[in-house]
Amino acid sequence: MEILIQHLRRQLDQKSIDHVNHLKTLGKAVVPVSWENVHFLKSTNQLKAIKTIILNRNSSNDDFVFFFNRAASILISEALDLVEYIPGTELKKTIVTPTNCTLDMGDTFFPGQEVIAVSLVRSGDCFIRSLRRIIPAAKIGKLLIQTDSRTGEPKLHTEKLPSLEAKEGAKASKVLLFDSQTISGAAAIMAIKVLLDHNVQQDQIVLVTYTSTETSIRKIFNAFPKIHLVVACVGERSHESTLISDPDADSNLDSDWWMASRFIDSKYFGTS
């Protein structure tokens, strides 16, 4: 019996090692990644000022929360542009304005999809307050994914999701997956796998994040090329700003990025 237990442990350990190695290879530039589904926020002076406050270690907690909420609202609004809207001409619907005028059907648009939010605890929870202001009735699910300290493999600990399948006769729901920082991409990849297991199509998933490393973007899109990503800023390496050119170079370590450690959720919830 003891020999059998040891054998099973070795097999599980090897499986974890293989999984982690597979995740690492996804970030290497072996297969070109199409960036057409990566939606960057337009770099405006307002967003640059917000970024400065968010990244300033001397910013007060109140300022940090206030300005991150502003950034989150902009990111969510950008993500909502990916939701399908149906013109009034197709639905044969119009509206009456407060001044009792009937608006032309060509000027009206109506939501064509339900929007469901899924938060990666607790990083994605930083978006919930802004989401509630924009879509008060939005259904929200939770996924708790943590890295095993022994193997480095992401593990799903908690799954609490609303019904993700479209009602009969309705279009598939658009799922917004929230993660304030995408560093290695492992948690996001596992979260997307969970959504796919619930019959959500790749092209109906929108990953919304404030910061992301280029490595994590490559990993995610090498695994799931049809999803969408909405991101405010992509971190550059401290010693280079070019795209990954050598897949085997030691400089491909995730720790090389300026946002290699999570800080947004800690400062947002006042635990840093």
Contact present, 170 and 186 (Cβ < 8 Å):
no
pLDDT-flagged residues of the chain (< 50): 7, 16-20, 23, 27, 238-254, 256
Q: What is the CATH number of the domain that holds 37?
A: 3.40.50.2020
**pLDDT value of position 184:** 87
**pLDDT value of position 168:** 64
d(CA 26, CA 28): 6
d(CA 154, CA 219): 14
pLDDT digits (tens, 9 = 90+) for 11-55: 555 554 444 455 455 545 555 677 899 999 999 999 999 999 999
In the chain, DSSP finds a helix count (H) and a strand count (E) of 8, 10
Task: Name the pTM for this structure.
Answer: 0.81
| Residue 264 domain boundaries | 2-268
d(CA 107, CA 130): 28
3-state secondary structure of 245: coil
**Total number of domains constituting the chain:** 1
